[in-house]
Amino acid sequence: MAAISSPDDAQNLIAGTYGVDVARPLPGAGGGLAAFAVTDRSAGRSGLMAVQSAPGAPPRAMALNALAGWTDDGLLVPLAHGPGHGARGEAAWFVVSAAPPGPSLAAALRPWSEPELLEFVLRPAAAVLVALDRQRVTHRAIRIDNIFRAGMAAPVVLGTAWSAPPAQYQPALFEPPYSAMCLPSGRGDGTIADDVYALGVTLVVLALGRLPLEGLDPVAILRRKLALGSYVALVGDERLPPAIGDLVRGMLAEDPDHRPPPVLLADPAAARARRVAARPPRRGQRPLELSGDRVWDVRTLAHAVATDPDEGGRLLRSGTVDRWLRRNLGDPIMATRLEEVTRLHDIDGLADTVRADGLMAMRAVAVLDPLAPLCWRGVALWPDGLGPALVSADAMGGEAGDLLAERLGDMVASEAAGHWAAMRPERSDPVALRLAARQRRVMVHLRGWGGGLARLRYALNPLLACGSPIVAGRTVARLQDLLAALEAAATRPELRRGQPVDREIAAFIAARNDQRFEAELVGMADAASPEQAVLMQLRILAGLQRRVDGRPLPGLAGWLAEQAAPSLAGWRNRPRREALERALGEVARSGQLTPMVGLLDNAAARAADTRGFHAAGAAVQRIDAELTALAGGAPVRAEAARRIGHEAALGIAMMAVTVAVVAAVLA
């Protein structure tokens, strides 16, 4: 992929082929996201666009991979994706596809006739859903402002849905209740039945020529659907064309298993004949008061407990819910199942009261409404929506983001997904979800910089860019992009005062590197000094350089050399230390990190330096001992010298007298 020379470039080059012109926006084409015109520089194809992912909303990696090479019509298929810069120079991720063939259905909303709806909307959309279902991909963004067509007699084309988490931008009107109640980022991929539901709502909107329930907020729409059922809540007393009414009634079934599959919708006559009896929810004789709301049925009760688990838990423990179920709703079976939930709470509460209360409320919601998502301490999501939800919490920041991250972290630590699946085994895979929940808990509890929620966030979002401020301004979603970003960061003096790897980068590496550097990531947290931490970082980055392409990184190497310089003071042999400093500088200028590891992490040379230091110390001690001994024997040697001097002087004097006597005798 070609590199972008600067954020101010008018065009970004995606996959080396598609030039994104951020100066030419395409309003309304991106399904709620910014879209720009694209030029195909290889084949010269026109009519393309690039949709820019929003911060805190990573693109759908699995869907992008599954749809590579798609050739069917009726859908804005992803052609390529990659990093670039937005209109304001911000780092971004783009998904390239065909541009819409015309305006969206919301551009000129009017009542459609039955033949129009069947021929130009239902059949072509159902054909796309059939093809998506074969690829095990859901769309999750079917709504009137994301469906387009070229003209009055043209079939519709489903818009883009790949640049953001599934259903993140879907209004509550177009989502089933069990999805609408979730965090927008935590709705998960869902099933093709959820797309059938959204298509059914689209048919209702087009048949009426307006949005039903207009003026109600998302919570009010959700509660109305729970209390009345989706079809009654949306259609009410309105008259729909007979065929459309029969089709929509099945498409809006509360249970996704009761909705007609897309292959059946492709033949409207057969789909119309497939009717599933749907009983209205049983209402109590008197309502149950919970958090200021009146609860009349079980599904609304489940939603109330999910929304206010503290108050719901209090009513569960006090037996109020049990009495209401038995006396007012006449459902002793449900009451008995909830008794088991409260019994489990007493067992769980022995260890952790807060966690036990969360588990009790979650289990109660699953028992009351098996269609409901995982509800944990006021947060609702589907297990496969955890990754985007973590990104959303991180992007949110502040107290709200911290609280959401804390709740999600507690959900992971409690292995809540496994317990939730065990309460509804007929609608999930308890074994797979229990295993996934355990793996996520282990990942969060890993020691060192390679664990925690940050690592889980990157692991669950393969195209999530690294959020470290060290690489700010660049989109680093792959390991091969990280080294280039650090090389660019090395030109900024304010960054070189710190180390090149922080916790975010460490978590990003751990999630993208298949546990190759687990020991170093743990060692960075346990390092006794900054110099040791730098050596761990050098090992990791050298390994990445070898894995990627071995391209020289003189800026990053110089940065690491500066950070490692204090460790050279530990070398005792001055000539060797000076030689090492010169060698480190030469290797750093070459931009190769592996030789730097060899210089700084040479155990044999370190041992030799230590032995030389100890040998030199022993020699100094011997000299000091000899000097001390000499200093201690000085008085004795002085007395001996004085005595010898006296004796020598006496001998000389006697010799002189003898010579004088002999001379006198001879004279």
| Helix segments in 123-240, DSSP class H | 123-134, 177-180, 192-208, 218-228, 230-235
Mean pLDDT lowest among 43-52, 347-356, 549-558, 578-587 = 347-356
What sign results for the dihedral spanned by CA atoms 230, 231, 234, 236?
negative
Q: What is the pLDDT of residues 203-221, one digit of tens each?
A: 999 999 999 999 899 999 9
Amino acid identity at 215: G
Domain boundaries, the chain: 11-98, 114-273, 294-453, 469-601
Mean pLDDT lowest among 188-202, 259-273, 274-288, 615-629 = 615-629
Domain 114-273 in the same topology as domain 11-98: no
pLDDT-based confidence at residue 9 (cuts at 50, 70, 90): very low
Distance between CA 332 and CA 329 in Å, rounded?
9
Q: What is the pTM of this model?
A: 0.85
Give residues with Cβ within 8 angstroms of 458, minimum separation 6: 464, 466, 507, 508, 510, 511, 512
What sign results for the dihedral spanned by CA atoms 225, 228, 231, 236?
negative
> What integer pLDDT is reported at residue 585 of this predicted model?
80
Residues above pLDDT 70, as percent of the chain: 84
User: Between these two residues, 39 and 602, which has the higher pLDDT value?
Assistant: 39
Dihedral Cα 184, 452, 394, 50, nearest 10 deg: -70
> What integer pLDDT is reported at residue 658 of this predicted model?
64
Distance between CA 32 and CA 59 in Å, rounded?
14
> What integer pLDDT is reported at residue 143 of this predicted model?
97
Distance between CA 388 and CA 334 in Å, rounded?
34
- Backbone angles phi and psi of 329, in degrees to 5: -100, -20
Q: What is the pLDDT of residues 434-479, one digit of tens each?
A: 999 999 999 999 887 888 999 999 999 999 999 999 998 888 998 8
> What integer pLDDT is reported at residue 568 of this predicted model?
67
CATH of the domain spanning 114-273, picked from 3.30.70.100, 1.10.510.10, 1.25.40.80, 3.40.50.10860: 1.10.510.10
| Mean pLDDT of all residues in 259-273 | 84
Contact of 293 with 304, CB cutoff 8 Å: yes
CATH of the domain spanning 11-98, picked from 3.30.200.20, 3.90.330.10, 3.40.50.2300, 3.40.50.300: 3.30.200.20
Mean pLDDT lowest among 275-289, 389-403, 479-493 = 275-289
Give residues with Cβ within 8 angstroms of 600, minimum separation 6: 535, 538, 564, 567, 584
Whether the per-residue pLDDT at 277 is higher than 80: the answer is: no
pLDDT-based confidence at residue 8 (cuts at 50, 70, 90): very low
pLDDT-based confidence at residue 245 (cuts at 50, 70, 90): very high
